[in-house]
Amino acid sequence: MEKKERLQELVSVLNKASKAYYQQDTEIMSNLEYDRLYDELIALEKETGIILANSPTIQVGYEVLSELEKQPHPSPMLSLDKTKEVSELISWLGGQEGILSWKLDGLTVVLTYQNGELQNAVTRGNGEIGEVITNNAKTFANIPRQIPYKGNLVLRGEAVIKYSDFNRMNEEIEEVEEKYKNPRNLCSGSVRQLNNEITAKRNVHFYAFSLVEDVLTEQQIKEYGFDNTMRGRFLWLRNQGFDVVENVVVTADTLEQQVMDFAAKIPDHDIPSDGLVLSFNDIAYGKSLGRTAKFPRDSIAFKWADELAETTLKEVEWSPSRTGLINPVAVFEPVELEGTTVTRASLHNVSILRALGLGIGDRITVYKANMIIPQVAENLTRSNSLEIPSVCPACGEQTVIQDINDVQSLYCMNAECSAKQIKGFTHFVSRNAMNIEGLSEATLEKFIANGYLKKLPDIFRLERYRDEITELEGFGQKSYDNLMKSIETARTVSMAKFIYSLGISGIGLANAKVIAAHFKQDFERIVCASEEELTEIDGIGEVLAKAFCDFFQDEQRMQVIKELLKEITFEQEKAAVPQTLEGKTFVITGSVEQFANRNELKEFIEKSGGKVTGSVSKNTDYLINNDRMSNSSKNKKANELGIPILSEEDFMKLAERDVISEE
| Range 410-413, long-range pairs (CB < 8 A, 24+ positions) | 410/318, 410/325, 410/326, 410/328, 410/349, 410/350, 411/324, 411/325, 411/326, 412/320, 412/324, 412/326, 413/324
Is residue 151 within 8 Å of residue 117, measured between CB atoms? no
Distances (CA, A) of 292 to 27, 78, 196, 461: 30, 9, 37, 69
* C-alpha to C-alpha distance for 193 and 300, rounded to whole angstroms: 31
Helix (H) or strand (E) holding 264: helix 255-265
In sequence order, what are the beta bridge partners of 315?
331
Is residue 249 within 8 Å of residue 99, measured between CB atoms? yes
- C-alpha 282: how far from its chain's center? 36
The SS3 assignment for 319 reads: strand
Angle subtended at Cα 188 by Cα 186 and Cα 189, rounded to the nearest 5 degrees:
65
* C-alpha to C-alpha distance for 171 and 615, rounded to whole angstroms: 38
Helix (H) or strand (E) holding 83: strand 82-83
The SS3 assignment for 398 reads: strand
Exposure on the CB side of residue 487, measured as CA atoms within 13 A: 18
DSSP assignment string, 400-412: EEEEETTEEEEEE
From 103, 162, 584, 634, the catalytic residue: 103
Is residue 568 within 8 Å of residue 493, measured between CB atoms? yes
Is residue 347 within 8 Å of residue 292, measured between CB atoms? no
Count of CB atoms situated within 10 Å of the CB of 392? 23
Is residue 584 within 8 Å of residue 478, measured between CB atoms? no
Catalytic residue at 103? yes
Terminal-to-terminal C-alpha distance of the chain: 64
* C-alpha to C-alpha distance for 429 and 562, rounded to whole angstroms: 18
Catalytic positions are 103
